[in-house]
Structure 1
Amino acid sequence: MSAAAVAPAGAERECQKCGRLLDEVGRCWVCAPAAPAVPLNLSMTNVQDATCECIRATDALAHCAQTEAEARSTLDLAEAEALILGVDGRNEAERKAALRLRLRDEYASLDAATAAVRQARRDLDVARLWIDGLRYQLRLLEVHRAPRIGGE
């Protein structure tokens, strides 16, 4: 288990190494290893790798979004069924809390799916930045190799 492990449910989510609060995906940005280095030297292999990574990240995001939609639909259906069967409580706040407790597994699934979507979106952003970096390098090479006006 990594140093930035998530604390048990209900407890504050803190890094076991430094004690700082973890982000929404359970990562300590102080102790977590840096993002993997991506090669920004312009080569056909790196362009192909960046393109493949962007495609993979797009597919992963689509899959995570579908999983999140299914989790949300399951939660909505479970809430409707619970409301039809009746929820105990003296007031709206108690009924809402009772409903939340009754459906804690569905809420946990939705929370996990939402966190996966955020991570997939971040991965796609990194892949797009990789492509952009290679594109800017190519543009810089084009500018430096272009014939200059005036015979210079």
Structure 2
Amino acid sequence: MQTSVTPPRKTELARQLLAPGQRRLPAALRALLITVDGQRDADELRRLGRGLGLGEDGLKQLADQGLIELPKAVDADEAREVLAIARAAQERAKRLVSTKFFALDLVTRMLAGREGELRDLVRQADTESRFMEWVDLCCERIEAQSDVERASKFRESVERTLAAG
């Protein structure tokens, strides 16, 4: 079974042809082109094209003239795989955010008021690798204020939370 992942989109040429004063397209094709907004899928646009009297090939005519980009058709298994990858990335992002809050709370307790700079820096940790660099900095500060064992416990707790999600 073939399914489309993304809706059709206008090309730069289409935007130029739709500029005020440009009337080089037949009215029905122009109306269909206007409805191509990157939100409506190809099936909906085909229905609109039929309603405009263009038959089944209105989208094809626009694509043949270089006015729209039709999405690559993928099979259902490939679409499921793409969705699974997207969901996994979303879950990793959620896990990172919750771990950042946990780690910030923990370092605040361990440094008791001397974590202001770390609080500011954690906002820049937008990837897991940057976050782990921030964790390294926290460990250095904890070790300087307390000892290696507390810093090690901080790291283990944060890594365990990040892995658990």
Same fold (TM over 0.5): no
What is the TM-score with the length of structure 1 in the denominator? 0.31
Please state which structure has a larger fraction of its residues in helix.
2
By relative contact order (CA 8 Å, sep 6+), the higher-ranking structure is: 1
Please state which structure has a larger fraction of its residues in strand.
2
